[in-house]
Amino acid sequence: MSDFDASALKGRSVLVCMGGGIAAYKVCEAVRLLARAGASVHVAMTEAAVQFVAPLTLQALSQHPVATSLLEGTQEQQIGHIALADGADLALVAPCTADLAAKLRAGLAGDVVTATLLAFRGPVLLAPAMNVHMWNHPATKENFAELTRRGYHLVGPGSGEMACGHVGEGRLAEPAQLVEAAARVLGPRDLAGKRVLVTAGPTREHFDPVRFLSNPSSGRMGYALAAAARDRGAQVTLVSGPAELEPPAGVELVRVVSAAQMDEAVLSRADAADLVLMAAAVSDYRPVRVHPRKVKKTAGPETLELERTQDILAELGARFAGGAHRPRIVGFAAETEDLVANARGKLERKGADFVVANLVGEGGAFASAENEVVIVGREGEHRIGRAPKAVVAQRILDIVAR
């Protein structure tokens, strides 16, 4: 499974509603991953879906009977469509074909899938899958637009080569993406209506067109925080230094390079924020002189004169000290020693509400997929053990957004 926090699925009931399409084979893996994440999975299939995947396969993967007919007596007695609807926390419609989307918009109930979904009152996650021209047809676009207006969630479609030979948008999202989207929908929504500003990645301070001062930050922690805040309902702006990462969907991305650019981007947006997460590894120094052309090597020693960059966290703390509107400000600290003491000193000097600190060089900081941190606040400390950064991000928000 890809690197994300699937804990929201544990102990929850997920109803997988399968439409008829060649992409149905990918849903089998999604069912397996959902069950592995701790969800109780039930499956309902249209008559067309049964032509692509055997119900016995889904029964083996989900460990529950599979509903294939609205009127078949034994199935209706054992696991009727109303029972399916009443027992689920989330309905995942995958593949959601053009035909199935049209039926859902119209409120039809002619098979076990559409009848169950019409009776279901929880969140519905649609995973479209169809030919690129079908996806781009105005009728299909209108149907999905109306369904999302009603509150249905959407994952995908992706782009690429299709079974029909066409290339373009319309591919079913990958199984891990389906599971991640399900976890996102079922996760906490405690940041709904809040505006969250996140910084991520390194900054670069050039001294000529081809050389710069920087650090090894990958941006993963900041990107994970942006995705976690989005998943909890926030409107998120991510200010990112140079990072080779795919930005989280549904997040406003502001790309910067230098500390000065990040300073301007953050301060111009901080007044509107409710929570500021300063996860970027901002360069502390920059060259005094920036050369317009590449500096050539010389035979003797060379000296590079440096000056301090903007201290964005301290500027934020001073800006909102004692103000009527103050966003909650969270700083980050990468330390090599005296972790808690240094973090607490930073908390007091910078006027932050929390400082999230971790030790560099112990496998949990720069460029690592995992992290372990100590969150230092004015009322105490919280330790988060080693885990994938997506999981750590959720735990950080559990504390700082409380």
Q: What is the pLDDT of residues 297-341, one digit of tens each?
A: 888 888 889 999 999 999 999 998 876 678 999 999 988 888 899
Question: What pLDDT does residue 362 have?
Answer: 54
**Higher pLDDT residue, 395 or 387?**
395
pLDDT band at 250 (very low <50, low <70, confident <90, very high): confident
Are residues 166 and 200 part of one domain? Answer: no
- 10 Å CB burial of residue 4 (0-12, 13-18, 19+) is buried
Per the domain annotation, does 286 fall within a domain?
A: yes
Q: Is the pLDDT of residue 193 over 80?
A: yes
Q: Which ranges of 268-322 does DSSP label H, i.e. alpha helix?
A: 312-319
Judge whether 231 lies within some domain. yes
pLDDT digits (tens, 9 = 90+) for 102-143: 999 999 988 999 999 998 988 899 999 988 888 989 999 999
Query: Is residue 160 pLDDT above 80, yes or no?
Result: no
Do residues 64 and 40 both lie within one domain? yes
Domain boundary (186, 211, 243) is at 186
Inside any domain, residue 232: yes
How big, in percent rounded to 5, are the helix, strand and coil portions of the chain? Answer: 35, 25, 40
More confident residue, 75 or 170: 170
Average pLDDT of the segment spanning 39-48: 93
Q: Is the dihedral of CA 175, 159, 156, 240 positive or negative?
A: positive
230 and 364 both lie in a single domain:
yes
Name the residue type at position 207.
Answer: F
Strands annotated E in 328-392: 328-335, 354-359, 370-377, 380-388
In terms of domains, do 201 and 182 share one?
no
Separation of alpha carbons 305 and 302, rounded Å: 10
Do 317 and 270 lie in one domain? The reply is yes
What is the model's pLDDT at position 72? 64
Strand, helix or coil for residue 19? coil
Q: What is the CA radius of gyration of the chain?
A: 25
- Domain C-terminal end among 167, 186, 205: 186
Q: Which amino acid is at 126?
A: L
Average of per-residue pLDDT across 184-190:
84
* 227 within domain boundaries: yes
Query: Can you give the residue range of the structural domain that contains 359?
Result: 195-292+303-400
| Cβ atoms 355, 328 nearer than 8 A | no
* pTM of the full structure: 0.71
Extract the tokens encoding 68.
């294939």
Report residue 365's pLDDT band, with 50, 70 and 90 as the boundaries. low
Residues 83 and 200 in one domain: no
Claim to verify: residue 233 and residue 324 sit in the same structural domain: yes
Whether the per-residue pLDDT at 227 is higher than 80: the answer is yes
What pLDDT is attached to residue 246?
85
In the chain, how many domains are there?
2
Q: What are phi and psi of 366, to 5 degrees?
A: -55, 135
- Domain's final residue, options 160, 186, 212: 186
Asked if residue 380 and residue 335 are part of one domain, the reply reads: yes
Return the CATH number at 307: 3.40.50.10300
Confirm if 90 and 182 have CB atoms less than 8 A apart.
yes
Is 2 among the domain residues? no
pLDDT at residue 77 greater than cutoff 50: no
Domain assignment present for 298: no
Average model confidence (pLDDT) for the chain?
88
Residue 1 domain flag: no
Say which CATH number the domain at 89 has: 3.40.50.1950
Q: Stretch 59-79: mean pLDDT, rounded?
A: 74
Quickly tell me which residue has 């590449």 as its tokens: 294
The most confident of 142-151, 197-206, 293-302, by mean pLDDT: 197-206
Among the listed ranges 65-79, 138-152, 376-390, which one has the minimum average pLDDT value?
65-79
Same domain, 385 and 282: yes
Q: Which residues are catalytic?
A: 164
Residue 297 lies in a domain: no
Structure tokens at 138: 């105005």
User: Which carries the bigger pLDDT value, residue 248 or residue 13?
Assistant: 13
Q: Which residue has the higher pLDDT, 72 or 200?
A: 200
Same domain membership, residue 216 and residue 311:
yes
Together in a domain, 267 and 338 = yes
pLDDT at residue 357 tops 70: yes
105 and 24 in one domain? Answer: yes
